[in-house]
Amino acid sequence: MKRTYRRLAFLIALLALVVDQGSKYGMFRGLYDGTFRGELEVVPGWFRFTAEYDPDRPHTEQFFAPLQKANGPVMPRVNYGALFGLGGEHKGTANYAFAGVSALAALGIVFWVTRRHTAEDRWLCFALGLILGGTVGNLYDRLVFHGVRDFLYFYKIEWPVFNVADCCLVVGAAVLMLHAFLTPSVPKTV
């Protein structure tokens, strides 16, 4: 019986989720200074942490209220859309549509990782773990905050603001693509 890497995939996913949510809660709580935008210069002239707030959006009084209030005294301004704000102008509709896609993708990845052939491939499990962690991190935001919290900003090149979950998705997809091109195909036996 070959060694499996399912645990690796789920451990990477959990680590990515914890780092993503920890960084979001930490940044939005830590950068709040009573204004609509908090910033911390990281690389002068290039990169900063930025957190925008929406004082017109009240915290909910429902199930997610404690999770929203842990983020800070004011609700964050969120990205309702997806990559580069795609669909963001449709707010609630886009958020729920992308939440549905994220939930289906997460379930698909969990199923994929549980397959024997996949579980025996370390790099494939590593990539899927990153993608799963990033997907669940942004799904959490969509459910709790009704959009995704972003705070990483390369303003020198005017790159759209993003977050750690987005980084996990991109790196995971890159590893998955490299894996697809660099892994020799196994001939099928008839």
* pLDDT for position 86: 54
Q: Choose the catalytic residue: 20, 121, 141, 166.
A: 166
Model confidence pLDDT, tens digit, residues 150-182: 999 999 998 999 999 999 999 999 999 999 999
* pLDDT for position 185: 73
Model confidence pLDDT, tens digit, residues 91-123: 668 888 999 999 999 999 999 999 999 999 999
Does the pLDDT value for residue 135 go beyond 90? yes
* pLDDT for position 93: 81
Does the pLDDT value for residue 68 go beyond 90? yes
51 pairs with which residues across the strands? 38
For the chain, the maximum distance between any two Cα atoms, rounded to a whole number of angstroms, is 68
Distance CA 140, CA 120 (A): 29
Residue 7 CB partners (closer than 8 Å, separation 6+) = none
Q: Domain residue spans in the chain? A: 7-182
Does the pLDDT value for residue 87 go beyond 60? no
- Assess contact for 30 and 21: CB atoms under 8 A: no
Active-site residue, 33 included: no
* pLDDT for position 187: 63
* pLDDT for position 88: 46
Active-site residue, 166 included: yes
Does the pLDDT value for residue 62 go beyond 80? yes
Who wins on pLDDT, 82 or 47? 47
User: pLDDT exceeding 70 applies to what percent of the chain?
Assistant: 91
For residue 56, with 0-12 CB atoms within 10 Å meaning exposed, 13-18 middle and 19 or more buried, which class applies? exposed
